[in-house]
Structures are given as C-alpha cells and as structure tokens.
Structure 1
Amino acid sequence: MNGTTSGGDVRLTGISRTYGAFTAVHPLDLTVPEGSFFALLGASGCGKTTTLRMIAGLEEPSTGTVHLGDQDVTRLPPYKRPVNTVFQSYALFPHLDVFENVAFGLRRRGIRSVKKQVGEMLDLVQLGEHARRKPHQLSGGQQQRVAVARALINHPKVLLLDEPLGALDLKLRRQMQLELKRIQTEVGITFVHVTHDQEEAMTMADTVAVMNGGRVEQLGAPADLYENPATTFVANFLGTSNLIEAEVASASGDEILVHAGGAKLGVPAARCTGPTATGARLLLGVRPEKATLTPADRAGEIPEGRNRVTGVITEASFLGVSTQYLVDGPAGKGLSVYAQNVDRDPGLAPGAEVVLHWNRAHTFALDAAQDIDAGTGPAVTGTPDAGAATTGKEAASG
C-alpha cells in the first residue's frame, strides 16, 4: 500500500518472532484497516498475544516491519508509538480515583487543564457519576471501562486490547462486548483485540484473523469465516461442525456429488476447497443448527433434494432455547443437531431411528488430507443457548 491509501492502517510485513529454536509467530503479512475493529483469535500459544505485543513495541520482531499509517515504528519504543494497550488486569492506580486515573496520561504530558477532556471521556464510557470513586469501589466491568477511557484520552491511532474481558463473568462479559463495540464506533479509531473467545470475536469484530501455530489460518468477516471455513481447524474452532468423510462421485456445473455413509450427498462447487476429481476424498461439513432431525418412520415428509443421512439418537441435552441431539450412523459418530425448543417432537429421544437432513446449499467441503479433529478441545466460554458459535468443539482458554 502506498501512503495515500494506507492512512492509519496497521501494516505488518513479514513479521515474525522466534525465541531460540521456538517460533512463536511465523512470518506473516497483515493489514488492519484504519477505523476497524479487528480481532486476533486463537487458542493459548497460537501467537496472537505476541503479534499484539510487536504492534505495541513490547516485543521486538525477529524479522519484518510494523507500520502505523506511513510511519515505520518497528524500532520505536512503546512510549513513542501512537498506540495504547488495555490489559486483562486493568492496571489501574489503586490510590487514585477514577477521574485521576483517566487524567494520568494528560498530566504526565504536562497538560494542566484536564477537566473537560476527562469529563467527556467518562461520559463516553458512561462513568461520569463515578468520577470520585476509587477502583476498588467499582465492579470489574466499570474498572475495565476506566482502563479504556484512560487509554483513549491520549488519542492513540490504535487501541490494543489484550484479553480485556477475560476476568469478567459471562453476563458482564457479554454486556462489555456490546459496550466496547459502541465505544469503538463512537470514537472511530482502530481497535485490535486479542481473544481466545470465539463468540467475543464474532460479536465485536469487523474482521477476524484466526491464528493457529503462529500463523493466520484464515482471515475475514465473522459471518464468512463461520459459513465458509477454509480448514478443519477453522470449522471446528469457530463453533461446532459436523465433518463427514466422503468420496467424490461426480463434479459437474455448480454441484459436486459425493458418496458418504451409504448416501449420495451434494455440495455447491463454490463451497468446496478440496479436490474434486472422481474418487477424491473430502470432508463434508454442515453446522448443527442448519440440520434437522425427522423420525425414520416419517422420512416421507422430508422435502426432495435435501442431503440426508440415517442414524440413531444417542443423546439429547436440553439447553434452554434449544436441544442438542447427538446421532450415530453410517456417516459418522456424534453428529450434532441443534433444534429450537418451539414445538418439541416426542419422537426425538435417545434410541430413536432418525434421518438427519439439511439444505444442500448449507454444505461445505474441505480437503480430507487435513486432521478432522483440528481445532477441537474443551469449551472455553459461553453457553449452548448462545448458538452453535459458542458450544461443542472449542479451544482451550489462554
């Protein structure tokens, strides 16, 4: 990008970080558009925090450059960069009240008249009436907002957020997700947010970079990553995916037909990132909320043209707004379906023979050479009620 178009973009070019024989971040090129809310998402040890720290100047890159707009800041110390960082620990001064915590950066720069600026910033984070309270008199969410106000009052070009909501309980974390998005929209500066929480990234960010093993696995808008994962890691890490081993039967026009578990299934050619030659191996994917269960004795009610596989319900878990069913069959074990609890079907119970079916357009296909279980792990946050993006196969916290 040239100077006339890069504006206040954050541009990482060939940036990497090694510690002896260990590579924390492999060489990567990444552009964070000016004014965007950008998330670096991944499990513990994926390199996301190291990448953020290189932008902040807290880590020196082993290779590559960091540009903020037209300025090469690669060798500048943190205090000379137009960035501020908000950490999970908040790092507020316990002996100063809210007003003085926010005013700290201005006073350190020798600005004497701070009342108007601090007042405006406290109004932005909706803490004006708490100006004279000490940090210990505030809730965790309020302390986090003080930390954001203290960072923003210096008018940085970029605000870096390192797991900023990790210490909050689930309900407060969800409130703060919306609050941070509102603040970012109002101030219009670039936010770069590091998180291991899939729901958090998808709720807040315009663009998400999914990191794995020190590399960016996939980059895009949250909805695009969720609907069109390019790898098994992204398919599993961003929520839950049913991945079914399949073999290409034929490929013509806009659709690829495959054999899987004794059934013939279709996938749009545009949603296949794997090989399409006859006999090639694919992993067919469908999200659990896109699938429907019908008792086998009512299979005739299923509309023509839908993908369908047979099986037996092995488990049914009531989750509030939905019920999660697990199905074992020729196409695979533990296939997951989320059914909204509107009109619960008494025929759907453990032991019932069922047909699992879905619209072919909701199918995606990946190269079967990948690890089918990549990106799976214990759930980190959220509840199943929040939808498929927060349940099932999720990565470890960190």
Structure 2
Amino acid sequence: MGETTGAATGADLRLTSVTKRFGDFTAVDDLDLVVPQGQFFALLGPSGCGKTTTLRMVAGLEEPTSGSITIGEQDITRLKPYRRPVNTVFQSYALFPHLDIFENVAFGLRRRGVKDVKQQVGEMLELVELGSFAKRRPRQLSGGQQQRVALARALINRPQVLLLDEPLGALDLKLRRQMQIELKRIQTEVRTTFVHVTHDQEEAMTMADTIAVMHDGVIEQMGAPAELYDQPATTFVSNFLGQSNLVRAEVVGPSGEDVVVDVHGTKVGAPVARARRTTGTVWVGVRPEKVVLLPDGGAREEGANHLDGGVVVDVSYTGVSTQYLVRMPWGQELAVFEQNSGAGGRVQRGERVCLSWRAEHTFLLDADEDAHAGDESYAALVGADGGGAAG
C-alpha cells in the first residue's frame, strides 16, 4: 500500500530568506525554514501572523517579494502552481458537486491523461476509509467524509508536499478530534510531507512531528510539541501554546544546575537549561497542571518550589479537572489545574493555600517581554491594545 500511495522521490521543503510585503505591510519577514521530507509539520499562530501567506507562497498562489523556495534541488519560487509538486487541501473541501466520489478523486489523474484510474482511486478511497462510498455525491456525505475525499483527491496526484490550510476548521469539535487522528494515520501511511496551517493549538499538538509558532511574520520558536510546551522560549509561545502562570522575579544567582530567583520575598529554583535569562528581572513560569495546592503553613516537599499565602477566589469544575484561581499576597491571580482522579476532596473558595511545584517544571523568560503576549483570552478581555503585565 505504501509503495503505491507514497510520495514521489523528493526531499526537504526549504524557504530561504523569504519575505512577503503587501504595500507597507510585511506579512512574512525574512523567513528561513526547513521542513524535512516525510514530516507532519504544523505552522501555528493567530490570525494575521503570516502562516497562511507562507502556505500560499509554497503553493504558488502568492509570489515572494524576495527569497527562494525549493523542494529538494528544484527551485519552485516562480513556478506556476500547476507545475509544482504540491497539492493543497482547503477548509472548504472544494469538491465537484456534480461528480460522484470516485470521479472527484480521479479528477487529477484524468486531467493528466491517465486512462486506467480504477486501481489508484480504489486504493485512495480505502486509505481514507471510504471504499463503499464511491458512487455517492458529495452532498450525501458528512463534513468529515467530504474532507477525507478532498484529502484523497490531493494525495492521488502523489505530491511531494501536501499543504493543509485549516482543513478541519469547518467541523464540529468531536468530529475535528476524530479527524486529527485520521489525518495523522494517513500521513504516517503515505509518508508524504504534510504542512498544516492552523490557529488551533490542540490540533497542532495532536498531529505534528514539528511545530513552528509564528507571530508577526516570524517564527518565534520551532520544535517538537513537548519541547515547545515544556520549554517555551518567549512569553508569546508560553501563552499561545496552552496556559502559563508568569510571575515577575529577580535573579539571585546560580545554585548548582539551578538558577535561584526571588519571587516577592520567596526563593524559587529553576533549571539553568530552562532559563532564557539568568540575570536581572525575569518571568518565572509554571504550567497550571504542574502546580499542587497544599494547606497554607502545612508540610512541604523537600526541594520543591513553594509560594505561601494564597487565597482561592474561584473554583471551576470542568469534568476532567477542577480549575482554581488563587490570589497571591501581591495581588496576582494564578491558575491551578487539578485532575479529578477522586484521590482527594476539592479545595473550597476562600481557603488559604500554598502553591507547590517541582523545580524542574519551572522556566524563566525575559521580563522585557509582555507577560500577556499570545494570551488570546486576555486580549479579548482588555482589547488588542490593552497591554499590561503580570504582577
């Protein structure tokens, strides 16, 4: 199966010093990017960050202002879209309503003059688990099924790179999650390079081998999902990829392989390897699910970080977890996510608590960066120009 549906012999997708301007606006700014052949690669970022413009330049739908785009040894920067070893799957599916599913998938082959399409179309429909739907029309299929047809129609052309432009955006949440698993399964089977543009963090984390987080036309950070989540390089990445508690602190100095910082009078440790800044003022970062609530003034775990004097001001039960907001003595509210394992009772609003977490889960970021960068819920609350920093 892999031999018949795999990509033609190709190589890495490479963007070198790619810039795209629209008048005075720079959508993509001097971008260098390598997507290894056969990877599931995600370009993740908010609206207007440059990710879709990047995808359109690879597809040939936009021309770079400067720079080059190559696939292996082939320079595709100025090639017409139909001459590129690339296909695109859009959110809108773009199926032909008057053709049945078989003919929709066969379209690219017939346009190239291929006479015997039955075997290839059959294999593609089996790959996307729609073998029994060949004679149906698009309107008779669900949104998820239509998206799989669009995927089969693109893959049958055996592109070296498949571009996915928010392909699951039109689906409801449950179906979207099912399709995330399906897309990853299909990509693993065909071994084609997938470049997936999305603003959905969970979607990128679920499917991608590598994620590039884009912001204002540049890549803020690139790496494996776990690396970006556990060791964000900037406040934007820490907030856009999940949720973070960021607390202003002053660096005290090194202690073995840790950096010791002062958080409003309390000493806290962080690994040097997870510190983007080791002098002056920093943001101390920790993910809410890494934090444990303890009784204020109670027993402490040796070697863990602790912040005393918190008061629980909000308790939200979400099923999988209970989410707490804790107001600290300096006025800042920090989030704590506790899995509902049934191991203990929930803390009540108004209780005094200590926040505890292991030092190795701490990261340090540059305090010159906006603590709310990438926090879409905060931006919606205060407006795009609200700015501000955590306490």
- TM-score w.r.t. the length of structure 2 is 0.93
Map 1:165-180; keep pairs closer than 5 Å: 165-180=168-183
For 2:150 and 2:222, the matched residues in 1 are separated by 29
Map 1:236-255; keep pairs closer than 5 Å: 236-255=239-258
For 1:344 and 1:338, the matched residues in 2 are separated by 14
CA contact (8 A) 1:244 1:332 kept: no
Map 1:267-282; keep pairs closer than 5 Å: 267-274=270-277, 276-277=278-279, 280-282=280-282
For 2:189 and 2:209, the matched residues in 1 are separated by 15
Q: Structure 1 residue 349 and structure 2 residue 348: aligned?
A: yes
For 1:313 and 1:202, the matched residues in 2 are separated by 31
Provide, for residues 102-122 of structure 1, a one-character-per-residue CA deviation record: whole Å limited to 9, x for no partner. 000011111111111000000
Q: CA RMSD in A?
A: 1.7
Partner of 2:305: 307
For 1:118 and 1:266, the matched residues in 2 are separated by 58
Map 1:41-52; keep pairs closer than 5 Å: 41-52=44-55
Partner of 1:157: 160
Provide, for residues 143-186 of structure 1, a one-character-per-residue CA deviation record: whole Å limited to 9, x for no partner. 00000000000010000000000000000000000000000000
Cα offset, 1:377, TM superposition: 1.1
Of 235, 238, 252 in structure 2, the residue corresponding to residue 232 of structure 1 is: 235
Residue identity opposite 1:359 in structure 2 = R
Map 1:45-64; keep pairs closer than 5 Å: 45-64=48-67
Post-superposition, which runs of at least 4 consecutive aligned residues in structure 1 deviate over 2 A? 343-347
Q: Structure 1 residue 88 and structure 2 residue 114: aligned?
A: no
Task: Return closer, same or farther for 1:8/1:331 CA change in 2, 3 Å cut-off.
Answer: farther
Q: Structure 1 residue 221 and structure 2 residue 224: aligned?
A: yes
Q: Structure 1 residue 363 and structure 2 residue 362: aligned?
A: yes
CA contact (8 A) 2:372 2:378 kept: no
Residue identity opposite 1:65 in structure 2 = S
Residue identity opposite 2:79 in structure 1 = L
- The SS at the match of 2:126 is helix
- The SS at the match of 1:248 is strand
Cα offset, 1:305, TM superposition: 1.5
For 2:28 and 2:363, the matched residues in 1 are separated by 29
- The SS at the match of 1:203 is helix
Partner of 1:388: none
Of 209, 212, 220 in structure 1, the residue corresponding to residue 212 of structure 2 is: 209
Residue identity opposite 1:320 in structure 2 = G
For 2:341 and 2:131, the matched residues in 1 are separated by 43
Q: Which ranges of structure 1 fall in alignment gaps of 5 or more residues?
A: 1-5, 381-391
CA contact (8 A) 1:309 1:331 kept: no
Cα offset, 1:346, TM superposition: 4.2
Task: Return closer, same or farther for 1:202/1:331 CA change in 2, 3 Å cut-off.
Answer: farther
Partner of 1:192: 195
Partner of 1:324: 323
For 2:42 and 2:376, the matched residues in 1 are separated by 21
Partner of 2:286: 286
Cα offset, 1:331, TM superposition: 5.5
Partner of 2:4: none
Q: Which ranges of structure 2 fall in alignment gaps of 5 or more residues?
A: 1-8, 385-391
Q: Structure 1 residue 36 and structure 2 residue 39: aligned?
A: yes
For 1:332 and 1:27, the matched residues in 2 are separated by 41
Task: Return closer, same or farther for 1:331/1:202 CA change in 2, 3 Å cut-off.
Answer: farther
Partner of 1:386: none
Q: Structure 1 residue 143 and structure 2 residue 146: aligned?
A: yes
